[in-house]
Amino acid sequence: MADEPVQTVDPSVFQKSKLMDELYQDPKTRDQVLGIIKTKYPDVRIPELEVQDRVEKLEKRWEQRYEEREKTWQEREAKAARLEAIEAMKAKGVQETEVEEVEKLMVEAKIGDPATAAEVFVTRRAAAAPRTRPDFTFDLPDQKELFGSPSQRKNWARKMAAQTLVDVRSGRGV
């Protein structure tokens, strides 16, 4: 041993070693130090990084599954709510072909309840229906008959009375 020469160590090596040790021990910088080592030496196995990668992959996969199931659940809930709304509309007298019109009314009139919207729709539909019978007609008199001589007015009145009697007897009248 006496034959071997004594080597002196550069003090900067101790400083660098101390710095690396501090960075490695600090939880905030540990992953970055390990990442630098993995980048420089890709074949080195670092279990901490490998486990972290696996956990991240599993976490992504589980998040995707959760989001897919959440989306499917929301779609089912929306379908069930729509079917329930349609049934409520039908109970109020809305036909299957009129459901879209009621939904449009809900948006336009800002009505949140399908049953209420159906009631409004049915009420509007009834109010919009013609109130006179289509087979009943009424002819206005000619100006000569209306503003002519008294005999012309009597003749027109008799003619209208006779027509009204015919209409009443045939079931078309008032």
Question: Tens digit of pLDDT for each residue in 29-80?
Answer: 888 888 888 888 888 888 888 888 889 999 999 999 999 999 999 999 999 9
Q: Are 24 and 33 in contact (CB under 8 A)?
A: yes
Q: According to the 3-state scheme, what is the secondary structure of 115-165?
A: HHHHHHHHHHHHHHCCCCCCCCCCCCCCHHHHHCCHHHHHHHHHHHHHHHH
Q: What are the phi and psi torsion angles at 19 (to 5°)? A: -60, -45
- The domains of the chain are located at 12-44, 54-128, 141-174
pLDDT per position as a tens digit, 70-102: 999 999 999 998 888 888 888 888 888 888 888
Q: What is the pTM of this model?
A: 0.43
